[in-house]
Structure 1
C-alpha cells in the first residue's frame, strides 16, 4: 500500500476523494459548465506516488489544497498534484463516460507532507511555481464549494476513513508536465507559509 506523511507519521489512505470544477476560472479554462452541486471523483491508493512523472504523454498538472481526514474532520493540510491525462479526459467527456482512465491511473496523485491544521480553512491559499515562474494561485475564497461543504456533501453518500485525502479542486493555469522542469507547491494560511515541497519531473 502507498503512503503519505503527516509530520512524523506515515499514513495509508484508503482513497483520495477529489472535487472537480470547483474554481470558476478553471471551469472556463476547460470549457465546462458550472455545476449546481460538487463534482466528485475518486483516486485509489494505487494512484499515490512520491514522483512527478511526465511519461511523454499528455499529462497535465493540477495543483490543489488537500486535506488529510481524521474522525470525519479536516485534520491536516498539504499540497497535492492531481495529474490528468487531458486528451483521454476530453475524449471520455465527449462520450459521457467515467474519468478513471484519465484521473485514477498509477502515479496520478502526488503530495507534499501534511501538517496539522486547526485554523480557518477560509484563509488557505496555494501557489504552484514552475521553473521559478508562478503558474497557479488560488484559495478557498475562490472555491464554489468550500472544504466544509465538500466534506458534508461527500459524507452524505460515502464513508470516509481516517487517513483518507480530500482534494478540493484546482484554480486556472493548468498545463502539461514537462520532463526536467522544477515544480514547487506552497500552501499558505494568510501570509504564513505552512507547506512547501518541490519536485523535478521525470
Structure 2
C-alpha cells in the first residue's frame, strides 16, 4: 500500500490560480505512518516542531496505470480526511542539504487517517468542504475548488510514473492558510461536509 502526497497544492483565492502549471510536488509516505481515527498520537522524539495539515484523501479502488484525468474518478472508491503531519524542524534541516521529505513526513503516526466513505455524494470533486478544529477552535477551512492540481490531474501524472493499486491513498494537499504547531494535549477533530470524519488526541 502506497500513500502519495501532493505538496503546495492550494491557493487562498481563485484569483491566485496560476495560468500555467508545471509538475506537481509529489512525495510518498510509508504505510507505518497511518494512525486510525480515535487512536492517540504520540509525538516523535526526533522532532520538537510537528505541524498539522488537514487534507482530502482518496482511495484507489482498482489498478490504475496511464489513466487520463477524465477517467480518474472511475478508479477512486473512497474519500476521507487525513492529517499530513510534518516535522518542520526535520524538514528544514533536510532542505538545507536539498534532501528528501521522507523522514519529516514519514515518522510513525504522521498520517492520521479517517474511515473512507463511498464516493456516492461526492461526484463533484471541485465542490467539497472540510475543516479542522483543535480544542474546539476551527483552525483550517478547505474547499476543493482551490486545489491547483485537481485529483484527476494528480492521478494522471502519478499513474504515468507508477502503477496505483487498490488500497493506495492519495493526499491532495492542505489549504493555503491555517497550518500550525501540534502540542501535547491537543484534541483535533476534522469534518468532511460537516460530518465528523477524523479525531485525534495528542498524548
Please indicate, yes or no, whether the TM-score normalized by the shorter chain is above 0.5: yes
Equivalent position SS for 1:89: helix
1:135 is matched with which residue? 139
1:70 is matched with which residue? 61
1:43 is matched with which residue? 29
Residue 18 in structure 1 maps to residue 5 in structure 2: yes
Regions of 4+ moved over 6 Å: none
Does the 8 A contact of 1:21 with 1:35 survive in 2?
A: no
In structure 2, runs of 5+ residues without a counterpart are: 13-19, 65-74
2:188 is matched with which residue? 183
Does the 8 A contact of 2:112 with 2:200 survive in 1?
A: no
Shift of 1:93: 1.6
Q: Over the residues paired in the alignment, what is the CA RMSD in angstroms?
A: 1.7
Does the 8 A contact of 1:15 with 1:42 survive in 2?
A: yes
Q: 1: CA distance between counterparts of 2:188 and 2:44?
A: 16
> Within 5 A, what are the aligned runs for 1:50-199?
50=36, 51-55=40-44, 57-71=48-62, 72=64, 73-118=75-120, 119-171=123-175, 172-188=177-193, 193-199=194-200
Deviates more, 1:76-85 or 1:54-63: 54-63
Indicate how the Cα distance of structure 1 residues 179 and 35 shifts in structure 2: closer, same or farther if over 3 A, else same: farther
How many pairs were matched up?
Answer: 177
Does the 8 A contact of 2:44 with 2:108 survive in 1?
A: no
Task: Name the structure, 1 or 2, with higher relative contact order (CA <8 Å, separation 6+).
Answer: 2
Equivalent position SS for 1:91: helix
Give the strand-richer structure, 1 or 2.
1
Does the 8 A contact of 1:114 with 1:195 survive in 2?
A: no
- Give CA deviations for 1:147-187 in whole Å, capped at 9, x if unaligned: 11111111010111100100000112111111111111111
